[in-house]
Structures are given as C-alpha cells and as structure tokens.
Amino acid sequence: MTSVVAVIPARGGSKGVTRKNLRRVGGVPLIARAVAAARATASIDQVIVSTDDAEIAAVSEEWGARVVRRPARLSGDTATSESALLHTLDELAEGGEAPEVIVFLQATSPFIDPHDIDVAVDLVLANEHDCVFSAIETYGFLWQEDAGVARGVNHDEHVRPRRQDRQPHYLETGAFYVMNTAGYRAAGHRFFGRIGFVEVSESTAIEIDSEEQLALAQAISPLVSHGASLIDATAVVTDFDGVHTDDTVVTDAEGNESVRVSRSDGMGIARLRRAGIPVLILSSETNPVVAARARKLQVDVRQGIHDKARALREWAAAQNVPLSRVAYIGNDVNDLGCLEIVGFPVAVPEAHPLVLAAARVVLRHTGGHGAVRELADRVLGERSDRPSDESMRSEDPTAERLHS
C-alpha cells in the first residue's frame, strides 16, 4: 500500500519572528495551520512534525500530528530543513516505515490549499516527476546589482516587451515540496531528477519570515476561508457590548441606560447550558444591565475586569477546561488578549480590524442580532441558516430591552 508522509520541520528558535511557529494567523498557530492543511488532503497518510520544542510538540499533537523529537545538533540556526527531513526518515526507518513519497510542508506558509498538495502528490505517484514544488506565475522584471549598476536578470534592460509578448516565469512559494523518497535520500536535496511545479493561487503564496509579513498575513486572513463551520469547544466566553448588543446604548434624562438584546441569543445560551457547556459573560464595564442579563440567562458573569485574559484563565481553570477548548467571542481591541489565548477566537463581522485578524471564525450575524445564537449553534454542531444580518437589524419581534 502506497505511503505518503508529510513532514513539517518546526524548531523552537527563530530570529526574524520570535516563536514564529506558534504565532497565530486567523486565530490558529502557524504550526497548527500546516498540520490542518496536510490532514485535509486526500493523499497524505500521516502527518509528522519535527521539532525540538515542547510547546510546538504539544500543539502539533493536539491538532493530530505525530511528533518526532529533533536532536539539538539539528535545531540550531545553521540547521537545514533537509537535515530535519532526513532525520525523520531515519526515525521512520528504525520503526520499519518506508514511505514512497515525502511531502515537505513549511509552517511559514499559512494559506496552503490541500488540493494543491494532492495535485503535486499525484504527479509524483504517477511517475511524471521526481519532485514537485508550489509556484506562482509572474511576469515581473528581475534586477540585480552588479558593481553598483543595475542589470536585468530575466530580461534585456534595453528591450521592454509588452506583457502579452513575454513568456511567464514561475516563482517558488516555499509552501510545499513533494518528492519521491528514494530519490530524495539519494540526492540529499529537495530538487533532483525530473523537477515539476504546481501553479498555486497568488493569494496563498505569502511566506512569513518577518514581523511585517506576519502582520500582512493576519490582516488578509479574514478574506481567506476560516475552515469548518463547527467549533469544537467545551466552554463559551463572551464579551457583552457589541456581542450581546449592537454596541449602542440608550440613555434617558436621569442617566438610566438601556440596551437591546436578542431572544434568539438567549435561546442559544439556554441550549448551551442544557448541553452542559459552561458559559461566562466577561465585561470590562460594570453595569447593572450586564448583571441583569447574566441572571436571566443563568450564566457566570465577571464585570469591571481590567485584565480580561487573566480572568478568563482563572475561570477556565476553575471549570477544568483547557484554553484550547474555549470559544471566546469579541468585537473590540480589549478582547485581543482573550482571543490570543483560546482555541477558538471568534469575531462578529463588524468587529475592529485587529479583532477580525485575530479571529479563527468570523460570524455571519452581527452583535445583538443573532451572533451569540450562531456561535451556540456552531458549538452544538449545527450550521446556521437563519435570516441574513440585514433582515435581523429590523424591528425583531424576538428582541427585548434591558434597563439599568
């Protein structure tokens, strides 16, 4: 039976971006995104992470990868990816495993399309190529400096043909390399024999080697699919303003405040409680409205919290729920600390751009108009299929008002 094994090298040290493989894009650690992409393919039989770092190993195993511990001699700044791949193959061989194809994935490419990997694997299995890599088409003019003078690399600088008159070049993205294992062992390098490439979408081609590139990936992540609709959480924590409400407040002449909430959201919370899923409302404000809503929903509430992340950690520990199984929904920058530590950071669609960038899931329904219900349905394993955001903005007969 053909064996295709994915290997993801991920050492703990990183100079350009500190703890790079654990940094998050779209609410998910980079190493976890790579593992998830490999597991989502139809062709890969086993996913292995080669690492020297205990935290990377723990995250990798949680996401379904097998971990091979990399020795210190292969974990320094001068260690090559090839050395980590060969070490992994040696470890497999000691256990009697001899994969026919090895897929080398890089966690620094956060938007790998599993289908592209499958295409590359098929080309190697069909013996059309010995190694295949991911690339994007480019018509760019490349230059290099020669003794202080710019010279054309892929063109004659004195000739400027139109795009339609030029042949494209293909730029290696660094996302994945698929290789015949025997050929790779013989060559000791990722390029050998009959080399081919799979053209991938330019939107998936970003590679993270700097803080600027990480920020860019985080910024565009809301435009890229956040994956499955279901949220495999065993506890739910919510902000209040902008999540249970539309982030507006009505104040009368005496200073009394009222907000509008959705009965649909209340039903979602009730269903979570019936399913035994603990719920917490966490608010930086101290407001009788919040306390009243929590009492009615019969859920825990923490108000006037300056350090929301610390309060969330304490509550999750008291509930005996690991943070990786907590879903937190927020809308503004004071939610970022919580979003960065939970397994399922969730944002309402009108959230602050930094919150959208931190979210693993961006909901369809807005705050105060079904966002909490949608989250509850996804946690409970249902797909949301209720009226659109716009229709839920109208006078909803299921809405209610809370007054301080």
pLDDT grade for 1, boundaries at 50, 70 and 90: low
* Same domain, yes or no: 193 and 280: no
pLDDT at position 204:
86
Of 303, 309, 347, 345, residue with least CA distance to 327: 345
* Same domain, yes or no: 85 and 25: yes
pLDDT, tens digit, for every residue of 59-93? 999 999 999 999 888 887 778 889 999 999 999 99
| Mean of pLDDT over the chain | 90
Collapse the DSSP code of 298 into the 3-class scheme (helix H, G, I; strand E, B; otherwise coil) and give the result.
Answer: coil
pLDDT at 233 over 80: yes
- The runs of H, that is alpha helices, within 101-207 are 114-125, 181-187
Residue 315 is part of a domain; what is its CATH number?
3.40.50.1000
pLDDT at 13 over 90: no
* Same domain, yes or no: 305 and 271: yes
* Same domain, yes or no: 250 and 314: yes
pLDDT at 94 over 60: yes
* Same domain, yes or no: 251 and 159: no
pLDDT at position 2:
66
pLDDT at position 384:
43
* Same domain, yes or no: 349 and 241: yes
In this structure, which amino acid lies at residue 399?
A
Q: Report pTM.
A: 0.80
Contact 242, 51 (CB under 8 A): no
* Same domain, yes or no: 75 and 121: yes
Number of domains in the chain: 2
pLDDT at position 229:
54
**How many angstroms separate the CA atoms of 20 and 34, rounded?**
13
**Residue 246, domain extent:** 235-403
Mean pLDDT of 326-341: 96
pLDDT grade for 382, boundaries at 50, 70 and 90: low
| Residue where a domain terminates, one of 187, 221, 255 | 221
Residue 95 is part of a domain; what is its CATH number?
3.90.550.10
pLDDT, tens digit, for every residue of 21-52? 999 999 999 999 999 999 999 999 999 999 99
* Same domain, yes or no: 157 and 264: no
pLDDT, tens digit, for every residue of 125-182? 999 999 999 999 999 999 999 999 999 998 998 898 888 988 899 999 999 999 999 9
